[in-house]
Structure 1
Amino acid sequence: MENLQTTLADTGKQKAQHTKTRYYILAMIFIITAFNYGDRATLSMAAAPMSAELGIQSVTMGYIFSAFAWAYVIGQIPGGWLLDKYGARKVYFWSLFLWSFFTILIGFTHVLGSISSIVFSLFLLRFLVGLSESPAFPGNSKIAAAWFPTKERGTAAAIFNSSSYFSTVIFAPLMGWLVATMHWQSIFWVMGGLGILLSFIWLKVIYSPREHPTVNPKEVEYIAAEGALLDMGESNTAKEKITWANVKQLLASRMMLGIFIGQYCVNTLTYFFLTWFPVYLVKERHLSILQAGFAAVAPALCGFVGGILGGLISDKLIRMDKSLTFSRKLPIVVGFVLSTSIIMCNYVSSHAAIIFFMSLSFFGKGVGSLGWAVMSDVAPKEMIGLSGGMMNAFGNTAGIVTPIVIGYILAMTGSFNLALTYVGIHAVGAILCYTVIVGKIQRFQLKTTV
């Protein structure tokens, strides 16, 4: 008993003495990820006035929307490999710098003259934005696994994941105001310019735990003792070679496949919000661009609150000695049950009711969006970046499929009713993945290959 009391006293003293540098790291990830999603949403906010001015049809715009995701998916595995080989700090810097640069260039596409040249350049530049952004979320997962102990990782992942909603809260009104007072091109210039500035701030803030200039040894000891991996890939020590056999092991795992497919279902809701949601508000519900920008704030804010709440609940359950599997799955299932409420927008007519059900749906999506926390929990220590890239590749295939499918639905039906049903069904798909396929959530151990 005396030894136990001494151990508890030592643990309490250690917690009191260590710094909180990891929270500054998380704040930086949060800000950068907010800009990541802000840049993804630039085209959707500009789409209505751009289409009207340039004569771009809905199916064509659907393909342009999808260009980002084509490249984003293609770049996931190479991006994850780069993170594991060269480290999150350097790779993330170039990712942020390049996607911001290509975003600026989109604002100049109107000068090309012919509609075919404009459409081609829009598709190409969005493709390059997607390719440049591909290391971002695997990088977030790698940094979270390095800096945060297991019992804090759900909250950390929920916070950086929820920045996608916070991004809309901040940037949707800003971009709506830019369109209303200036022109649609200004969205791309402002967002891209701010991103380039942030890329240089990133280099001053982000380091691995062992190499950070302000962290004290007590914090490194504490997070390591509680499950943090400490390595962001900056170490010069020899690294195990990742082989195709390792990748095949992940693809053969029922747990990993369930997580990958579940992320696809989750991202179907995400990409509806990032691409067609402002168009839905303008064309189906007859709001102005400025009104649509402010109307998008309520669902986004609810998604943000739900996202933080989901991470807090999950980590609280772990601290209550519930299993990791139960602690992660409960918020996921409850959250996506709520997300099915998006279908109710087909049965109401008032703007207030539409915003209510959209807000409820995205609150639920926020609560349930623990995929990146789960990935930090289960990815093999040798290939966290690549595992995150594989999950993101599966998940962001939804970014290819969803905009195109909805574009065809609109062309065939002239209404968003079937589109909202399509999105809601994917919330059910996420529930089935985690309840039927995934099974026990635990760290995946690679088998030695010879």
Structure 2
Amino acid sequence: MSKKLTPRMGKFKVLALIFVSVVINYMDRTNISVAASAMSADLALTPIEMGLIFSAFAWTYSIMQIPGGMIVDVVKVRILYPFILIAWSLATLVQGLVSSLSALIGCRMAIGLFEAPSYPANNKIVTQWFDTQERAGAIAVYTSGQFIGLAFLMPVLALIQSYFGWRGLFIVSGLIGIVWAAIWYMFYQEPSEQTQPKSIKENVSAEQASLTEDHWMKLKFAFTQRKLWGIYIGQFCLGGTMIFFLTWFPTYLTEYKGIGELKTGFYASIPFLAAFFGVLLSGFLSDWLVRKGYSNEIARKTPIIVGLLLSGTIICANFVDSNAAVIFFLSLSFFGNGLASINWVFVSLIAPKNMVGLVGGCFNFIGGLAAVIVPLLIGVLSQDGDFRFALAMIASLALVGLCSYIFLVGKVEQIQAPDFTLERKTASFGN
């Protein structure tokens, strides 16, 4: 677009573009969950095979987190974002045209591969367009898209499937992404000197300098610190609850609770709304406590501990019969998951100052492994159509995450890293 944007107008437009992109991103991750029951019946897929299909997305998504971030560093977002949007949308569309297990797994892997750079790209955009004191709010706005978007999309996706079938659901979803890629390219522009915050060039230069030094020693350090493993394990456990709702949840309602597919879409939206409010409450409450002078143990840890406790209430769904009670406990659990989503703040609070990016990559990688492992475990545990053991497993993960933050993270304080350059020189001298 040739028209120049004022800084304020540009920020709102950019944030709107990211928000819609996040909604489409999660639509293409989770439409498989809406289609799962009809697709598995049509193609005679077992629960274990469905677990493989559900987890295939995360195989490539997790592995590509760090490489995806590197790609974002060197390719302009205006070019990269439409490209990956079209690529994962085409893979989504092709899902509606294939029938074999291997082809479906391949499509899910392709979606994970091309979606991997999207969140690093979102972070880069926010960094380029928003000042430091504005970024947390901007991140909260676009992150909420994954919950509020799915809350309203679940009934819509169920309605699309009722008219066009599960194959039509994938085809329509893919076409929406391709159209949005064109809109993105037309309306997004790289920040100009007028719109870019003054501190960005200095920050980017400092980050790039730190990335060139002693990668392997820093990576080893990032995986040998107790506090860091505390937040890694916590992220994995939070991801376990999240991935249940993104994959098996509609199947649980349809096949185990006997709710019709169209009604499932409406019931499934309620926990996503609960998670959305949990995310907002977590951010505002934590920031309010910080402004009131409370320590990080209170301001930052409290929402996570309370959230993980609530997340564990998912097991209560095993002991109630009415659909309303089941949805209540599942919504309470997902609300807790949203409340604990502030956990990303611990990366900047605990990681050494010059390793925030690396630790963030490790943190997201371990969290992504939950999307690989948990769907498979649920498929194994629910082979006979009984989800009770699966829900107990998810509740157990919440308990493990709670213990991780209490006993492994401990006091919230920044880890002091050694001088890696000096260590390397000393090691070289010793040899």
TM-score by length of 2: 0.86
Contact 1:298 1:359 (C-alpha < 8 Å) held by counterparts: yes
* Matching residue's letter, 2:337: K
Match of 1:122 in 2: 104
Match of 1:14 in 2: none
**3-state secondary structure, aligned to 1:369:** helix
Q: Deviation at 1:309?
A: 1.3
**3-state secondary structure, aligned to 2:248:** helix
**3-state secondary structure, aligned to 1:19:** helix
CA shift in 2, pair 1:189/1:407, >3 Å? same
* Matching residue's letter, 1:187: L
In the alignment, the residues of structure 2 paired with residue 206 and residue 373 of structure 1 have an alpha-carbon distance, to the nearest angstrom, of 28
Match of 1:75 in 2: 64
Q: Deviation at 1:234?
A: 10
Q: Deviation at 1:303?
A: 0.7
Matched, 1:400 2:382: no
Q: For residues 333-372 of structure 1, what are the structure 2 equivalents within 5 Å?
A: 333-372=305-344
Q: Deviation at 1:434?
A: 2.2
* Matching residue's letter, 1:390: C
Which range is displaced more, 25-34 or 124-133?
Answer: 25-34
Q: Deviation at 1:420?
A: 0.6
Match of 1:9 in 2: none
Match of 1:250 in 2: 222
In the alignment, the residues of structure 1 paired with residue 77 and residue 345 of structure 2 have an alpha-carbon distance, to the nearest angstrom, of 17
- Unaligned runs of 5+ residues in structure 2 are 1-5, 425-431
Contact 1:135 1:389 (C-alpha < 8 Å) held by counterparts: no
Q: Deviation at 1:350?
A: 0.5
Contact 2:256 2:385 (C-alpha < 8 Å) held by counterparts: no
Q: How many residues align?
A: 415
Contact 2:349 2:412 (C-alpha < 8 Å) held by counterparts: no
Match of 1:104 in 2: 93
In the alignment, the residues of structure 1 paired with residue 101 and residue 146 of structure 2 have an alpha-carbon distance, to the nearest angstrom, of 27
CA shift in 2, pair 1:83/1:196, >3 Å? same
In the alignment, the residues of structure 1 paired with residue 365 and residue 314 of structure 2 have an alpha-carbon distance, to the nearest angstrom, of 25
Match of 1:437 in 2: 408
Match of 1:318 in 2: 290
Q: Deviation at 1:46?
A: 0.7
Matched, 1:137 2:132: no
- Unaligned runs of 5+ residues in structure 1 are 1-16, 111-117
1:58 to 47, 50, 60: 47
* Matching residue's letter, 1:53: D
Q: Once the two structures are superposed, what CA deviation does each residue of 1:394-427 show, in whole Å capped at 9, x if it has no partner? A: 101111111111111112x531111111111112
Matched, 1:19 2:1: no
Q: For residues 17-416 of structure 1, what are the structure 2 equivalents within 5 Å?
A: 19=8, 21-86=10-75, 90-110=79-99, 118-145=100-127, 147-148=129-130, 152-203=134-185, 211-212=191-192, 215=195, 220-221=197-198, 224=199, 240-241=211-212, 243-375=215-347, 386-411=358-383, 413-416=384-387
CA shift in 2, pair 1:246/1:91, >3 Å? farther
Contact 2:236 2:367 (C-alpha < 8 Å) held by counterparts: yes
Contact 2:217 2:420 (C-alpha < 8 Å) held by counterparts: no
Contact 1:137 1:388 (C-alpha < 8 Å) held by counterparts: no
In the alignment, the residues of structure 1 paired with residue 82 and residue 184 of structure 2 have an alpha-carbon distance, to the nearest angstrom, of 7
In the alignment, the residues of structure 1 paired with residue 227 and residue 77 of structure 2 have an alpha-carbon distance, to the nearest angstrom, of 26
CA shift in 2, pair 1:84/1:259, >3 Å? farther
**3-state secondary structure, aligned to 2:400:** helix
Contact 1:95 1:133 (C-alpha < 8 Å) held by counterparts: yes
Q: Once the two structures are superposed, what CA deviation does each residue of 1:290-317 show, in whole Å capped at 9, x if it has no partner? A: 1111101111111111111111112222
Match of 1:8 in 2: none
Contact 2:307 2:335 (C-alpha < 8 Å) held by counterparts: yes
In the alignment, the residues of structure 2 paired with residue 383 and residue 91 of structure 1 have an alpha-carbon distance, to the nearest angstrom, of 26
In the alignment, the residues of structure 2 paired with residue 297 and residue 280 of structure 1 have an alpha-carbon distance, to the nearest angstrom, of 14
In the alignment, the residues of structure 2 paired with residue 234 and residue 197 of structure 1 have an alpha-carbon distance, to the nearest angstrom, of 35
* Matching residue's letter, 1:409: L
TM-score by length of 1: 0.83
| RMSD between aligned residues | 3.0
Q: Once the two structures are superposed, what CA deviation does each residue of 1:129-171 show, in whole Å capped at 9, x if it has no partner? A: 1111112233334444555556554444333333221232122
* Matching residue's letter, 2:152: I
Match of 1:13 in 2: none
**3-state secondary structure, aligned to 2:155:** helix
CA shift in 2, pair 1:416/1:238, >3 Å? closer
CA shift in 2, pair 1:98/1:299, >3 Å? same
Contact 1:267 1:395 (C-alpha < 8 Å) held by counterparts: yes
Q: Once the two structures are superposed, what CA deviation does each residue of 1:60-93 show, in whole Å capped at 9, x if it has no partner? A: 1111111111111111121122233446555444
Q: Deviation at 1:24?
A: 4.0
Contact 2:254 2:260 (C-alpha < 8 Å) held by counterparts: yes
In the alignment, the residues of structure 1 paired with residue 132 and residue 407 of structure 2 have an alpha-carbon distance, to the nearest angstrom, of 24
Contact 2:306 2:336 (C-alpha < 8 Å) held by counterparts: yes
